[in-house]
Amino acid sequence: MKAIINGRFIVPDKAGRFAVEEGLALFFDETIQKICPAASVSEAERAALEACIDARGAYVAPGFLNVHIHGCVGADTMDDTPEAIRKMQRFQARTGVTSFLPTTMTYDFPTLERAFRHVREAMAREEGARVLGCHMEGPFISPAKKGAQAEKNIAKADFEKIAPYEDIVKIITVAPEELHDQGKFIADCHERGIVVSLGHTAADYETARQAIEQYGAKHITHLFNAMTGLHQRHPGVVGAALDTDANCELIVDNVHIHPAVQRLVYRLKKDHLILITDSLRACGLGDGPSELGGQKVFVKGTLATLEDGTIAGSVLCMNDGLRIFRENTGAPIEEVIEAVTKTPAAELGLYDKLGSLSVGKNADITIFDNALNVQRTIVAGRDAWHA
């Protein structure tokens, strides 16, 4: 048994909302065993500990979930080698992420199937951050809003193609106007526990709202990016997202979303926000040329673009994104943390296992300072990374 003391613990209150509490002690092995006032811990309990971690006033939070990430440190989900996701696991832990969904691109199905097999292998591996499955971004998207996806690989939605991988695919991004099936594809996904997300879509407001309200596609892939925008007479996919209880991803690097827009979305959607990185293999490598989906990418500072200037994902690390979002919105730290823990875990049907510091849940814990610098990341009770 191990324990953490002297931290500012971000824990659920009686109503289930996150709050900051001090003066606690958290006991854990692979799961969280006890959370109690530190003053009530006996000398015998302290002596029996395998280790006692002194947080020294830092925040102690549930580990972060990243539900949309293509790559980092030179590795990409689409690389046909198990070492790629292993590199991602190790680096994600450095950024406070304890669980993530490696995200595929719009490729032909033989290539996608190779990626799925590598994800399946990684799900059984205990190294760095935990792999929960994958986010399948394409190929069932709109050519008109392909963004940095390769148009030649865009395909008509066919559930039979992903059925053999229903244990792996946890989120799938689709363009609802391309389905033409009265919600059958979305229903097939829901029956297998796959979250359907609207993204890379030219849908109008009515089509998007029908997919959300009637068919149940209550997730939005990188809100504002690669979709119809908000216009006073044509609300678009953005309008449907803001006008419903859909969970909305935001890439908070100040490149994809202006700080003012981040503030507006926070006020409207704070209970339905999921902060993501959408990072490329260039993340963690600095400026220079890179690659995404077989296309050349050029990175300068926080901006990554294709040769034609199209924004191509991000080079954002999760802890940096949380810091940026907190600075832009003034949101309390506990609400920022909910957007990368409780909200995505609940959507994936995993909140009984992870997503909060609660007795019985996985001991997935991130310790960080006021500036969101990660000091230690713990996954299922094991040290995944520490400064």
Looking at the annotation, which residues are catalytic?
Answer: 278
Chain Cα centroid distance, residue 317: 11
Q: Could you identify the residue written with the tokens 């109690």?
A: 36
Residue count of the chain: 387
Asked if residue 287 lies in contact with residue 300, where contact means CB atoms within 8 angstroms, the answer is: yes
Asked if residue 104 lies in contact with residue 78, where contact means CB atoms within 8 angstroms, the answer is: yes
Say if strands 24-28 and 32-37 run parallel, antiparallel, or are unpaired: antiparallel
Joined together, the tokens standing for residue 17 give 């909302």
What is the 8-class DSSP label of residue 244? S
Query: Looking only at Cα atoms, what is the longest distance across the chain?
Result: 68
Residues 34-63 as b/e (b if ≥16 CB within 10 A, e otherwise) read: ebeeeeebeeeeeeeeeeebebeebbbbbb
H-type alpha helices, 98-150: 109-123
Q: How far apart are the C-alpha atoms of 37 and 22, rounded to whole Å?
A: 9
For residue 103, the cross-strand partners are 135
From 196, 195, 253, select the one nearest 224 (Cα to Cα): 253
Q: Crossing angle, helix 82-94 and helix 109-123, to 10 degrees?
A: 50
What is the 8-class DSSP label of residue 42? -
Which region, left, alpha or beta, applies to residue 56 given φ > 0 means left and ψ of -120 to 50 means alpha? Answer: left
How many C-beta neighbours within 10 Å does residue 80 have? Answer: 10
What is the 8-class DSSP label of residue 372? -
